[in-house]
Chain A
Amino acid sequence: MRVNNGAVIQVRSLYKKFNAGTLAVLDNVSFSLEDGESMAVIGPSGCGKTTLLYILAGLISYARGTVMIKGDPLKGPLRNTAFILQDFGLLPWKTVRQNVCLGMKLRGVSKEKERIICDSLLETMGLSQYRDCYPARLSGGEKQRIAIARALALKPDILLMDEPFSSLDTFTTETLQDTLLEIKAVHHLTMIIVTHSIEEAVFLGDKIMVMSQRPAHVKAIVPNSQAGYSSYRSDEMFFAACRKVRKVVEQP
């Protein structure tokens, strides 16, 4: 068991309010994540889950509390953090390859290296044949794969995902969830996933953070260390964990 200082992400007493006079969005949120650990965040819609992700991605500032990434206070977007937005944030005017290469282009990676990394990622994602297509031609599941490929191209340690599978059908979702678990293991990612599905939270999260109505505070963090393999979905322990989380969610 590591000491708390070894945590990759450590959030303490985080407080966020957008405009003076309105209700706070986040109130006293604290949690920490170890290297390679995943956490699912679940809670009522509009409770501030997305705001939490935006703060962790360095896109918006926070008023009070501390956010430490690998021991350093967070001040802006970090090179080792990848963020996949709710509707993937793919640029419609770029081809699949250009989208995947975008982050590398911004970081001045050489064209040659860009191409090699991109081609191998598209290969593993099974998207090679769409290399020169525009995203408008692709299905939701394919778009999400591209977004994941784009994030992985930057070789991140931390992956943040906002309701990654909410617009997809069940079969696509389950396949992609399995893919995500593999990727997490292979690339040794620390992962935070915001979701509104209890099943998804239990399947993907080594722990599940249940949040309350606005102003969102942490109702409970449910440990779920059995998660992380494909057959967990039909395991009796999986259903037990789901029941447990649902009970916390339904608590007033």
Chain B
Amino acid sequence: MKATRTTFGYILSVAGIFLVWKLAALGVSSPVLPPPEDALKAFLIHAATPVFWKYFGISAYRVIASIALAWCLAFPAGIVIGYSRSLDRFLSPLIFMTYPVPKIVLLPVILLLFGLGDCSKIILIGIILFFQILVATCDGVKSISSKYYDSLLSMGATDKDIIREVVFPAALPYSFTALRITTGTAISVLFFTESFATTSGLGYLIMNSWATAAYTDIFVGIIGMSILGILLYEVFSCLEKVVCPWHVIETDTVDEESQSGSAIPVLSRIVTYAQMIKFSHTVFALPFALASLVLVRRVATLDISTIFWIAMAMVGARSAAMGFNRYVDAVFDANNPRTAARELPSNVLSRHEVIIFIVISSLVFILSAAMLSQPCFWLSFPILAVLFFYSYTKRFTWLSHIILGFGISLVPMAVWFAVTGTLSPGISVLSLFLLTYIAGFDVLYACQDIDFDRREGLHSIPAAFGVRSALRVSAFLHLVSVLSLAALYRIFVLHPLFLVFAVVIAVLFFVEHRLVKTDDLTQVNVAFYNINSIISVLLFVGILMGELMWGVL
């Protein structure tokens, strides 16, 4: 649960940075700030060279050696100083006097004493980290509740016992927190030490690119250093979980009690939004956009900026539609035990915040469409209308499943139109697959809510015709899906390998319907998540193979 939250947090953050960067690059329009895709391309080119990894390795070695050195000295020192009152009395004033002094000014002295090699760099970074870890550990030891000491003393423990059983384990999480926080500092100082008098490392790469006016390459170094920082941060988080398993349990328990108790409020907020719009479900729709891109390559050439704006349009449209759906359905969601925990009904997000979110998402969609072409811009409004309209259909017609499928099935056609400016009968077959596939499993999903929907007067196929008929309708829709796969094969003249994937998808549909029994709907979630995400991905891979294999076999 936590891991997926972090992953989506990262994905969203990267997407956000990418967007802001892109806009800034468009605004500045100078070689000094290349657009993100150029920087990424340059990074990938560099990443294929051994020189880059040599630099990455050297930088990693310097920073990891510094951190290890600092921790090995600071943690035991922090424990002793924090625990022993007499030592604390002598050393605390000294630490707190030297703590605010910017140790980085010692650089010339350290260079003169230890030479220009790795040693001086490791020592400088090490000194700076030492104090941070020391102070955090000391504070951690001082915050240990006296009840733990008393408890051990009453059993006849000695000082050595107490340090081993209480102080050491209690201070460990504090030192890990310090390690995680200091990764940023460590990387900054690393850049500083690598910025002169050296010919290796990522910092050198940045400074050298600057000197030779290779502006895009500056960003190769920046991306490399960011990756190094993120990796270290994650490594420390994982180490903490392994070394202090009790600490994770405690923070988890606190998290459950107050959602706001997160260390990074902005990130957790982003994650909350991502959960609201079920960002994870993008996996169902995204492969269809990719598949459409693969197919459209036959009739048109693609460039990176088109792909970028198509992706942005998709994220914008999806977020707007899901946000709107949650907003409109908040009343029903709150009453339904299955959905009462959603972000809006449970008051994690306010109605006001959700409206702002919908407006921004819609703007991203419209703006992205405008960047694609003039007709796309005009079409973005009726599409948004269809997406919003779906949320109301549940209130008056059991055709709501079809409308949902229709809304999502616009993806392949929209991609095709964005690239070529026209539509083709072939791509509408892919849309038909998507329509029946989504509508079919939405019917399955609705079977779980049948009692609730009937009580609240909401319309759905299970509520109107019963579970047994609903399962038949769903099976029929998925039969159409399988047939449209065959049509897709004929129309686009795909490689026969595609048929293998089509057969696997057909089998998966069959398994899905076998799993869901009239009297046992507990399997719906399993069927829904696992099988459907596999089907989406299989279809994309199948089309990709069907396209590429002509060149190979």
Q: Do A and B come from one complex?
A: yes
**Is A77 at the interface (CB under 8 A from chain B)?**
yes
**Across-interface contacts of B157 in A (CB, < 8 A):** 106
CB distance from A114 to the nearest CB of B (A): 14
Interface residues of A in 42-100 (CB under 8 A from B): 54, 57-59, 77, 79, 81-83, 85-87, 89-94
Given contacts A81-B154, A82-B154, A83-B154, contact A136 B244 (CB under 8 A): no
Indicate if the CB atoms of B246 and A93 lie closer than 8 Å.
yes
**Is A137 at the interface (CB under 8 A from chain B)?**
yes
**Is A193 at the interface (CB under 8 A from chain B)?**
no
Interface residues of B in 247-287 (CB under 8 A from A): 247, 249-250, 253
CA distance A116 to B427 in the complex (A): 71
Indicate if the CB atoms of A136 and B249 lie closer than 8 Å.
yes
Indicate if the CB atoms of B165 and A58 lie closer than 8 Å.
no
CB distance from B253 to the nearest CB of A (A): 6
**Is A134 at the interface (CB under 8 A from chain B)?**
yes
CB distance from B327 to the nearest CB of A (A): 37
Which stretch (B143-151, B377-385, B467-475) binds chain A?
A: B143-151
Per-residue contact bits, chain B 147-177, to A (CB 8 Å; 1 contact, 0 not): 1101111111100010001100110100000
**Is A103 at the interface (CB under 8 A from chain B)?**
yes
Number of interface residues of B (CB under 8 A): 23
Identify the closest chain B residue to A135 (Cβ): B246
**Is A107 at the interface (CB under 8 A from chain B)?**
yes
Indicate if the CB atoms of B156 and A77 lie closer than 8 Å.
yes
**Is B31 at the interface (CB under 8 A from chain A)?**
no
CB distance from B191 to the nearest CB of A (A): 37
Within the complex, which residue of B156, B165, B246 is in contact with A92, where a contact is CB–CB below 8 Å? B246
CA distance A92 to B148 in the complex (A): 10
Per-residue contact bits, chain A 114-143, to B (CB 8 Å; 1 contact, 0 not): 000000000000000000001011000000
**Is A149 at the interface (CB under 8 A from chain B)?**
no
**Is A9 at the interface (CB under 8 A from chain B)?**
no
Indicate if the CB atoms of B152 and A134 lie closer than 8 Å.
no
**Across-interface contacts of A107 in B (CB, < 8 A):** 155-156
**Across-interface contacts of A105 in B (CB, < 8 A):** 165
**Across-interface contacts of A146 in B (CB, < 8 A):** none
**Across-interface contacts of B161 in A (CB, < 8 A):** 106
Indicate if the CB atoms of B147 and A85 lie closer than 8 Å.
yes
Indicate if the CB atoms of B246 and A106 lie closer than 8 Å.
no
CB distance from A147 to the nearest CB of B (A): 9
**Is B16 at the interface (CB under 8 A from chain A)?**
no
**Is A227 at the interface (CB under 8 A from chain B)?**
no
CA distance A54 to B153 in the complex (A): 11
**Across-interface contacts of B249 in A (CB, < 8 A):** 134, 136-137
**Is A201 at the interface (CB under 8 A from chain B)?**
no
**Is A241 at the interface (CB under 8 A from chain B)?**
no
Indicate if the CB atoms of A58 and B154 lie closer than 8 Å.
yes
CA distance A54 to B146 in the complex (A): 13
CA distance A90 to B246 in the complex (A): 13
CA distance A86 to B253 in the complex (A): 22
Indicate if the CB atoms of B155 and A154 lie closer than 8 Å.
yes
Indicate if the CB atoms of B150 and A93 lie closer than 8 Å.
no
Identify the closest chain B residue to A57 (Cβ): B154
**Is A216 at the interface (CB under 8 A from chain B)?**
no
CA distance A93 to B140 in the complex (A): 14
CA distance A57 to B154 in the complex (A): 6
CA distance A230 to B483 in the complex (A): 74
Residue with the highest number of chain A CB atoms closer than 10 Å, among B153, B172, B253: B153
CA distance A112 to B249 in the complex (A): 29
CA distance A13 to B519 in the complex (A): 76
CA distance A92 to B165 in the complex (A): 11
Indicate if the CB atoms of A87 and B147 lie closer than 8 Å.
yes
CB distance from A170 to the nearest CB of B (A): 24
Chain B positions within 8 Å of A, measured between CB atoms, are: 147-148, 150-157, 161, 165-166, 169-170, 172, 244-247, 249-250, 253
7 interchain pairs (CB within 8 A)? A89-B147, A91-B148, A91-B169, A102-B155, A106-B161, A106-B165, A134-B249
Instruction: Beyond A93-B170, A136-B250, list 7 extra A-B contacts (CB 8 Å).
Output: A57-B154, A79-B156, A91-B169, A105-B165, A106-B155, A107-B155, A134-B246
